Each structure stands twice: as C-alpha cells, then as structure tokens.
Amino acid sequence: MATAKIEILNGPNLNLLGQREPEIYGYETLDDVANACARLGQELGMQVRCRQSNHEGALIDMIHEARGSAQGIIINPAAYTHTSVAILDALSSFEGPVIEVHISNIHKREAFRHHSYVSTRADALIAGCGTQGYLLALQHIARLLG
C-alpha cells in the first residue's frame, strides 16, 4: 500500500499557539506540533502535512483539496467548531476518517464551547490532552486506516 497522506488542519488563532493564553493552550508553538506530528507520522509510515488558516473559506478549500489527495484528516477547527456548518458540510464530503482535536477540554470551558458541529462528522474526538492530542489522533487514524 502507498504511504497514507494525512492532512492536519488548524483553525483561527492557532497560529498564536504558545503565545496566546498559555495557561489554557500551553507553550508549544504550532511549528512544534507540526514537527512532532511529522516525526510520528514517519514512524507510522504516513506522510503528514500541517496547515493553518484564520479564514473559514480557506479551511473549506483545504478540506476540498484533501478529497483528492489525502486518506485522513485531523482537524482542530478552533472557534469554528461551534459555529461552522460550512466546515461540517465540507468534512461530510470527505470519505476518509476525520479526527477532531482540541487542545483544551472544551466541555470544562464556557457553555457555548460545549457544542461542536464538527463532532457530528468526526470518527473520533480528542479534547483536553494538550498538544499531545494531535499525536493521539495520528495513532488512532493509523489504526483506522489499517
């Protein structure tokens, strides 16, 4: 089998990871996360590409692109988790596994964060494990892809 390609997509404000509210999100940067995911992906025999956008339409375009090139998506939609039916619809057009990741435990935070549109499409949800959640998602997607 060819090397599985995995898209790791990050939503708004995650470009500030390590700087913004470190008491919630920690001190690792998005580059740190991308490097750790690339290393683990290589160990698991997967090609990993990490991308981030603060723009809903750009994230939707990334999901559409993944339809023709990736076997799985790991997504931290950030604030769009709670608002974007459009991202849900785009993910619903993707045939491979989708893992939703949140660095913080969204269920211990403000009430509006308890609802996720993405969860209705996701094959798994990992929340509250810090940036390690991305690595857990990679391990799980590897199992799902067999």
The residue from 25, 80, 117, 134 that is catalytic is 25
The tokens for 5 are 């390609």
The residue from 27, 55, 82, 102 that is catalytic is 102
3-state class of 93 per DSSP? Answer: coil
Contact 130, 36 (CB under 8 A): no
Contact 53, 80 (CB under 8 A): no
Whether 25 is catalytic: yes
Whether 80 is catalytic: no
Calpha distance 127→60 (Å, rounded):
22
Q: Which residues are catalytic?
A: 25, 102
